[in-house]
Chain A
């Protein structure tokens, strides 16, 4: 795999860069499919987004993937599309201490805000202060704490900052490395004068965007709520970002995000030629795009079934049912859960729910993080006969009607809840229930309100109000793809067992390995720990994973600079915006 990488590799790269100081960041030729010299300056690239930015304030946005952020990341370090290793970005070099407890980063020279003011350590320190201020309520707040202790950040001099971690942690570098500067000369002033309240009120969507300043390749110059954001190239970005031939980036003059109210409206705009890229969300839309290309309506590239999306769909059984001891014992029995996995027809789900565009999922790591996925975990594929054998071991045998009953004659029955309105989940639940019924297991599918479902799932204690829930999670990262709330037994997303303590050895081992993996800075060693976690979890089957749908991409043929084909996936996307150009 090309993603194989380690911090050591990155450190060697850093050392090499440090020798030639005051260098701009050179965007590798490997990140673009353009021939050397092919890219041209000028032009507009138009895309769509499904909702307005809620704010231009970097500390308020309650949702991630803010449109302005997405325009491209201005962080201390970054990961390229071709590797999971950290490489210097706004920092020109970084150095991890031998004990792994601190990292020192030196800023590049010539960094500037879009208003021409220099970017220095004050801007990074201010961003850190605001993010770690409880009253500001930034999304990034939680990330700055490791095991409840704050990561400390200090300025060594004008161009050097140091982060001190309470313990060795893989994720610490993610948090520190992904710090973006915030304009201390504008927002910092507001914060110092008026505190957290004043800072939160700054830069709302009612602000004239031309008064906001950015470090990104493109800066917003106009925002029409519900309609579009127009970005123009930031002339200062090219001073520290160049392509492999040394040309200043970005190439485009303008970048336009059309705000659409539905994905169908985006599709219409794409077929009308009003936007330059579109990601079909299902095979029907792939069909429409492909038809439009054949008809000559648009001149475009189409890549269907590219890679699994970074999300999961799984069935989780409730291990805490004190009021129904029989069910509790059943749900805690690993043979029962394996039997249930043998009743999930992943092929049928792929065909019927996703029209053939999905991949079966066997472990708790999203398939798109391919580097981390252990391909050799124990699998319990669709096999009703094996399911019946396992259930017979537990004591359930078919009666005259074929219904599975225990020694007391009680049928094997449970309720499977999922959120109403999510068609795909409702269909998956139904397909599972049909197979289960055929095997003699009565599954009652209930579609309930999403928040109600989440409330049930997150109840704690020894008696929780559900049997089984079909739900999905998303998020994660390429450094350590497990969330901090999921594997530890007291985590609030340790959803099968919310008694507050581990009930099985496998849970205890996974919890220990989770902590060990986070403390392992060497990526290959961490991967081996990750493999062990997946093997344990797959054998335990606390969550029965179903399938991962595949994503599709399309873009107008006159837009160049996309990643080479083998780099395009759901996590890194189709292209780097600064390397994008119009033919």
Chain B
């Protein structure tokens, strides 16, 4: 087991180098650089742009830039952002933390919704209730997150209009954007927690729905397969209770593929919640990454790639180890 882990860790090195090299290459293939966008300013002299290019090291051929960057990366330095002249880590730490808040919340919501729904659908296969859950699942799969978020926001506005007309209650049920309220700094610790939680509900729900759909479908299929297998029939014949069969004997093997997928959650945790973050203005990774790409602030982009790649690789390793732990058929020697 120990030997396996060490071997895997060594294997990570070329993979990691390859990934960063590719990312660097792609960043370099984009025409122009951070300074090219300033060239259209009517009062900036071309000499100034050349001078800044030298200051930023952008005048060097890209292999030189890559080796320099890799050198400082090995010393734990992700480089400097061009646009703010600050260490990349200082710029991406807060977005990573903010995205984690959203993603953890949506994962909790995902499991809380998807496991019961999947089990329920499998146990009542082809019933009306199953059909409805399936329909909702497909809806969740089909609707893009960023659109769904905007639809929910519109719904909140309409609801406010309704409650104002009917009860004179002119407040939104949930905040429609941002991660905190503007009076956030005046709140105590508990108030701050509640404020963030309040802002998290809508985007976390949106992110969870797309996951719920897929998760429920797969879990349902797994459950159906196990519920009709021989060992369940044997258990039934021996008089094991319905609840015990469902949750103890069928659900346990059915969730194995999801355990294997847990490692993949690690990069998702910081990979951010995608475009939903833009729609509800969540200060997470997606907006940071998009802004850095737009500005061609390449070390910020690469910093995010490095952190995500690192976590993906560690996550895969953890998945494989977990799999061995939960599935007696798998052994690493």
Contact = CB atoms under 8 A, between A and B. Distances in A.
A201 interface: yes
Contacts of B308: none
A297 interface: yes
A304 interface: no
B185 A484 contact: no
A451 B36 contact: yes
B36 A261 contact: no
A375 interface: no
Nearest to A269: B177
Interface string A200-235: 110011100000000000000010111110100000
A451 B177 contact: no
B109 to A, nearest CB: 22
Contacts of A18: none
A51 B291 contact: yes
B178 A54 contact: no
A418 B295 CA distance: 19
B83 A261 contact: no
Interface in A140-192: 141-143, 145
A503 interface: no
6 contacts: A55-B84, A60-B85, A204-B84, A265-B280, A274-B181, A454-B36
B282 interface: yes
A70 interface: no
Contacts of B180: 224, 227-228
Interface range, B side: 35 or more
Contacts of B83: 54, 62-63
A360 interface: no
B288 to A, nearest CB: 7
Residue from the set B39, B85, B291 with the largest chain A CB neighbour count within 10 Å: B85
Interface of A: 44, 46, 51, 54-55, 57, 60, 62-63, 134-135, 137, 141-143, 145, 200-201, 204-206, 222, 224-228, 230, 256, 258-262, 264-266, 268-269, 271-272, 274, 295-297, 449-452, 454-455, 458, 471, 473, 475-476, 482-486, 492-493
B8 interface: no
Contacts of A142: 43-45, 48
Given A63-B83, A451-B32, A455-B31, A485 B279 contact: no
B44 A206 contact: no
Contacts of B46: 492
A442 to B, nearest CB: 27
B163 to A, nearest CB: 12
Contacts, number: 167
Given A134-B51, A201-B85, A269-B178, A452 B278 contact: no
Interface string B71-103: 000000000011111100011001100100000
Given A269-B176, A449-B31, A296 B164 contact: yes
Interface in B256-285: 277-284
A55 B86 contact: yes
Interface in B7-46: 30-33, 36-46
Contacts of A295: 161
Interface string B122-166: 000000000000000000000000000010010001001100100
Contact of B42 (A134, A272, A486): A486
Contacts of A44: 182
A226 B199 CA distance: 15
Given A134-B51, A226-B283, A265-B280, A484 B153 contact: no
B86 A455 contact: no
A264 B176 CA distance: 11
Contacts of A449: 30-32
Nearest to A51: B291
A458 B84 contact: no
B228 interface: no
Contacts of B42: 473, 475-476, 482-486, 493
A55 B85 contact: yes
A157 to B, nearest CB: 32
A468 to B, nearest CB: 17
Given A134-B51, A493-B42, A451 B31 contact: yes
